[in-house]
């Protein structure tokens, strides 16, 4: 599966019926390293990974991520934590 330049540093969305043959979604970028906080400020994380989803009543409502500050890479970060991001119910 070729990701291309537009997916570097981002989480992607791909689909597979058998777990072996994967196809990128039409809009493959699922998330970036930019986190927008409740106060409207935005921060670029050094790493964002280990995404997990929370399902409620059959719908995906939240994503959780492990995040690391710094400029990127595990050698540069000073703090690591988990965040939970509510998803927009209208989308």
Model confidence band, residue 82 (pLDDT cutoffs 50, 70, 90): very high
Residue that wins the pLDDT comparison between 74 and 26: 26
80-86 vs 23-31, strand pairing mode: unpaired
* CA-closest candidate to residue 66, choices 46, 82, 52, 54: 82
30 - beta bridge partners? Answer: none
Model confidence band, residue 70 (pLDDT cutoffs 50, 70, 90): confident
Residue that wins the pLDDT comparison between 88 and 66: 66
Q: Model-level pTM?
A: 0.68
pLDDT per position as a tens digit, 6-64: 556 678 888 999 999 999 899 888 888 888 888 999 988 888 888 899 999 999 899 99
Cβ atoms of 14 and 1 closer than 8 Å: yes
Q: Please check the confidence at residue 1 and state whether its pLDDT lies above 50.
A: no
Question: Strand ranges (DSSP E) for the chain?
Answer: 11-15, 23-31, 34-36, 42-44, 47-56, 59-68, 80-86
């Amino acid at each position: 599966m070729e990701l291309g330049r537009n997916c570097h540093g981002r989480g992607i969305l791909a689909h597979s019926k058998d777990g072996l043959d994967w196809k990128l979604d039409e809009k493959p970028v699922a998330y970036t390293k930019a986190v927008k906080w409740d106060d409207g400020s935005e921060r670029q994380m050094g790493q964002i990974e280990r995404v997990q989803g929370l399902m409620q009543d059959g719908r995906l409502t939240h994503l959780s991520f492990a995040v690391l500050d710094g400029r990127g890479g595990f050698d540069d970060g000073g703090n690591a934590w988990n965040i939970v991001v509510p998803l927009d119910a209208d989308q």
